[in-house]
Amino acid sequence: MATMHKKRPTWILASVSVVCLFMIGAYVNPSIRTRTCYLFNSRGCLTYDLHTETYFSRKLSDEEIESRIVIKEFLKFLPLQTNNPKVAFLFLTPGSLPFEKLWHVFFKGHEGKFSIYVHASREKPVHVSRYFVGRDIRSELVSWGKFSMVEAERRLLANALLDLDNQHFVLLSESCIPVRHFEYVYNYLLYANVSFIECYTDHGPHGNGRYVEHMLPEVEKEDFRKGSQWFSMKRQHAVIVMADNLYLTKFKHHCRPNMEGGHNCYSDEHYLPTFFNMLDPGGISNWSVTYVDWSEGKWHPRSFSAKDVNYHLLKTLTSIEECPHITSDAKRSVLITPCMWNGSKRPCYLFARKFYPETLDRLMRLFSNITSF
Ligand SMILES: *[C@@H]1O[C@H](CO)[C@@H](O)[C@H](O)[C@H]1NC(C)=O
Ligand SMILES: *[C@@H]1O[C@H](CO)[C@@H](O)[C@H](O)[C@H]1NC(C)=O
Ligand SMILES: *[C@@H]1O[C@H](CO)[C@@H](O)[C@H](O)[C@H]1NC(C)=O
Ligand SMILES: *[C@@H]1O[C@H](CO)[C@@H](O)[C@H](O)[C@H]1NC(C)=O
């Protein structure tokens, strides 16, 4: 005991000097300040945990502070753990789903572990699976590349959030197929510690080239990101998407096709990647669990037809462990993201697109053999 008493002053002194050193360091080295500067700092520094230092040059607006504090609080409290966690499958489609029969096989036997929501934007779908009957939500017209796409995604999220059991939310299109069996998908999504939202920097015309300065001051060019619209996200992330109005409005007004001067921007590829990059960069994977093949370098990704579909294709898709992001600049560089799941490398993909309706029969046959995936 006596020796401990004697040691204490030295110990206190040492920690005080460490703190002092750190504070001096923080004062002279702005990169330390980035990490130590919190919201209501007396020195009027309003940036909290951002990775860029750009915000030191200006004070945040009232709306930005309000928005950030709400989002930060939401992220701090994990959602209520229910006894029956479910994955919500959100289908964004013009009408009937060509792969509904395949999805039926996927869901069969897992009742109570999933919920389905269908946003059909052009015509009322005809359902062939009992899991899909009565699952259409109120929808509105969606036009390719327009903001109505983001609004439909939010409408799906909002409807699915009403069920407290829904803990993870996956957005899928009519041309998406599952490439893993249900149990694998359920465990992969529910027990991951991130949301799977693709997010990367593309300095080319189809990336940063779409940014306009009207997005300032809230969204700086360095914050602008690109990614596939086909996300999967945790409940707390779906809630912050609902809570956001500030950045949503910025994108609604300044990231649209055919803006002044013929400038094109597509919010469905930029709003969520940019939003998460700014507000919770460590909470997302940066790649999407839905495979797509952009390697042909065309305006639309490759679509798979019946002759392409075989055991080998599915085997290949399910063994990929790195996700390529191809930039749109002259170099067309390929950025490789290893698919890290809770700290270890795992196969990237649970779903794939785009498949023509004619592939259904072949996929059904392969799926009966699905235990191999
Ligand atoms: C992954 O991380 C989450 C969140 O930290 C945790 O709940 C889950 O158990 C982890 N999964 C595994 C398999 O370690
Ligand atoms: C995704 O990228 C952000 C910013 O570049 C980084 O902070 C984050 O750790 C990345 N996510 C993972 C899972 O590596
Ligand atoms: C997810 O888990 C990995 C491995 O444990 C860890 O390095 C990473 O920081 C975690 N990410 C989050 C957002 O919890
Ligand atoms: C079923 O899976 C096995 C491997 O587990 C494979 O060898 C076989 O070709 C598959 N059958 C069909 C019809 O694809």
Q: Tell me: the pLDDT tens digits for 294-343? A: 877 777 889 999 999 999 999 999 999 999 888 888 888 888 989 999 99
The H or E element containing residue 169 is strand 166-173
- Distance linking the first and last C-alpha atoms of the chain: 62
Q: What is the mean pLDDT of residues 176-196?
A: 96
Q: How are the residues of the chain apportioned to helix, strand and coil, as percentages rounded to the nearest 5?
A: 40, 15, 45
Of 8-12, 27-31, 133-137, 215-219, where does mean pLDDT reach its minimum? 27-31
SS3 326: strand
d(CA 301, CA 320): 18
Does residue 283's CB lie within 6 angstroms of at least one atom of ligand 3?
yes
Mean pLDDT value of segment 240-265: 90
85: Cα separation from own chain's centroid: 20
Span from the CA of 342 to the centroid of ligand 3 (angstroms): 5
Residue 281, ligand 2, Cβ within 6 A: yes
Residue list, ligand 1 pocket, CB within 6 Å = 191, 193, 342
For ligand 2, atom 4, the nearest C-alpha belongs to 281
Which pLDDT score, from 0 to 100, does residue 258 have? 84
How high is the pLDDT of residue 13? 44
Instruction: Grade residue 5 by pLDDT with cuts at 50, 70 and 90.
Output: very low
Give the closest residue (by CA) to ligand 2 atom 3: 281
Mutation test residue for ligand 2: of 50, 279, 286, 336, the one with most atoms within 8 Å of CB: 286
**Residue of the nearest CA to atom 4 in ligand 1?**
193
CB 332 within 8 A of CB 326: yes
Ligand 2 centre to CA of 361 (Å) is 39
Q: How far is the CA of 314 from the centre of ligand 4 (A)?
A: 11
Angle formed at CA 173 by CA 81 and CA 196, multiple of 5 degrees: 45
Contact 91, 173 (CB under 8 A): yes
Whether 342 lines ligand 3, by a CB cut-off of 6 Å, is: yes
Cβ(262) – ligand 2 distance below 6 Å: no
Kindly list the protein residues whose Cβ atom lies closer than 6 A to any atom of ligand 4: 311, 366, 369, 372
Mean pLDDT score of the chain, rounded to an integer? Answer: 84
- Which value, to the nearest 10 degrees, does the dihedral of the CA atoms of residues 271, 276, 277, 283 take? -150
Measured torsion, CA atoms of residues 117, 121, 123, 125, in degrees rounded to the nearest 10: -20
Nearest CA to 189 out of 141, 235, 127, 133 is that of 235
User: What pLDDT, on a 0 to 100 scale, did the predictor assign at position 57?
Assistant: 56
